Amino acid sequence: MNRSWIVILGVVGIIILLVYSLFIGPYNSIVNQSQTASQMWSNVETQYQRRTDLYSTVIATIKGSEKFEQQTLTAVIDARSKATSITVDASKLTPESIQKFEQAQDAFKSSFGRLMAVAEQYPQLQTTAAFRDFQTQQEGTENRITKAQQDFNDAVKKYNTYILSFPGNLIASRYGYTEKGYFKADAGSEKVPNVSF
């Protein structure tokens, strides 16, 4: 009688172990990695928000300069509005949604670069404390954005690899988990710039 119970318990234990290793474990790993990628996306958004807030301070400072070129300032304000209006659902980080978000952020950064080039022509603006503070914080902000993007891409790579590999692919397809998109380099950035003096 004791042997029968030992055999039954052994079979039940093996079945539980198989169920866990083929279904429960992979499902929990997918959920965990998906949540990590979503958290990393939130970190990316936080750094872009930091940039927007920092740039908004300088925009307000420049607005205060009554002689400043209004057309350039208006273009930056419009680009900032577009960049902040695009949101991406962290549970649906598709390549298309990330690309749309990144394009809006790049347009904002580009228009702001033009604004900064024009701002150099205004010496009274260069002497304001807000403008000087901005210049010291700008590089750090861009570095934080780059780091957050890299961390996000690392988390997405781990998640995508897992849901495309066996047995994760069986569980992912069953429960609707799909690949997440990556941040990509700007088009043409692979070409070496031609610098001549």
Domain parsing of the chain, residue ranges: 34-175
As a whole number of angstroms, the distance between CA 126 and CA 136 comes to 13
Global confidence as pTM: 0.68
Distances (CA, A) of 41 to 24, 53, 94, 130, 155: 26, 18, 12, 30, 9
- 151 pLDDT exceeds 90? yes
A 10 A CB-CB count for 26 gives 21
Task: Please report how the helices 129-164 and 25-63 are oriented relative to each other, as an axis angle in degrees rounded to 10.
Answer: 160
Which superfamily does CATH assign the domain made up of 34-175 to?
LemA-like domain (1.20.1440.20)
Per the CB < 8 A criterion, the answer to whether 84 and 170 are in contact is: no
A 10 A CB-CB count for 51 gives 21
Q: For residue range 2-44, what is the model confidence (pLDDT) as tens digits?
A: 788 887 888 888 888 887 777 888 888 999 998 999 899 888 8
Residue that wins the pLDDT comparison between 176 and 125: 176
Q: For residue range 100-115, what is the model confidence (pLDDT) as tens digits?
A: 888 888 888 888 777 7
